[in-house]
Structures are given as structure tokens and as C-alpha cells.
Amino acid sequence: MAPQSKLATLDTTIVDRLPSYSQTLFAAKTTQGLTFEAIAKQLGRSEVAVAAIFYGQAQASDEDVEKLSNILKIPIQTLESSSITSFPNRGHSGPMPPVEPLIYRLYEIVQNYGYAFKAVMNEKFGDGIMSAIAFSSKVEKEVDNDGVTWVNITLRGKWLPFTRF
């Protein structure tokens, strides 16, 4: 269990953009003092996938709901009666362009390097796109020899070649 000061909590400025169950999940996460990593280990999913469920950007399975109920001590009926297992309405959790500094930096990376990423991918794989559906991601912390902390974000998407028609 992580100290509460280290827990990600719900940004109240985006609450109205999220499903109602997001508030329930985040409140229980805080009460239980659990990180996304701790929940992910018990759920058998990646911490990014778990956070995406909390923000309504990923669909929870019936098994996820049962486990979340037990892990977070939320009555299963509360989760079952929500839209947590419904098809997500992705892409609406925050304003565009993003205003939250960390999210804006990720957006800025794509703005600045998006065409470079595309050119390199096209050279390596041909004409196509990286899937955000057949996809996984992870976030890792690295400390170099000088003691400087770095973040490593891995984006792993299936390559989808464009078809000729």
C-alpha cells in the first residue's frame, strides 16, 4: 500500500466529463490507500489499463467488476448497475488541447515528433498505422547513474497496413 500523498486522485475539473462510477472508484481507491499498480496486480491487468477503466476510457469485464468490488470494497451491485461494462465513450475525458501540464506535454510530444514517428514507422513497416485497439502500454521509472529520474513510456500497438481497394 502506498502512502495517501502518493496516490493519484480524481481531478475535480474533469468530473463532469467522466462516467459517474469514476468518482466511486477513485473514492474507494483513496479510502483503501491503493495505487493503480497494486490494483492492477490483483486484477491481472496493466496499471495503465486499470487507470483507463477508472477514467471511463476502457471497458471492464464482468470478472474485473467482481475483483474491483472485492479489492475496493465497493458493493458489487453498485458497480453492476453502473455503465462500467458498457462500451466506453472514449476521448471525452479532458479538453483539447489539454490544459493539464503533464497531459499537455504528451500532446506536445505528438505535435513535435508525430510526423517523425510516422516517417520512421512507414520506413520500417510500410504504409499503415499503429493500432490503439490492439495495444498495450506501460510506464516505468528509471534513475540514471547521476541520480536523475526519467520516465519511460512504452506504447505497443499492432501494425495495421493499409489495404489496397
- 69: annotated active-site residue: no
Instruction: Please enumerate, as own/partner, the contacts of 148-157 that have beta carbons within 8 Å and a separation of 24 or more.
Output: 155/130, 157/130, 157/131, 157/132
Question: Is 123:114 a contact under the CB 8 Å cutoff?
Answer: no
Phi-psi region of 56 (alpha: psi -120 to 50; beta: other; left: phi over 0): left
Cell match 474533469: residue? Answer: 14
- 90: annotated active-site residue: no
Q: Please identify which of the residues 37, 63, 80, 108 carries the catalytic annotation.
A: 108
Q: Please identify which of the residues 37, 131, 136, 156 carries the catalytic annotation.
A: 131
- 105: annotated active-site residue: yes
Q: Please identify which of the residues 81, 105, 136, 156 carries the catalytic annotation.
A: 105
- Catalytic residue annotation: 105, 108, 131
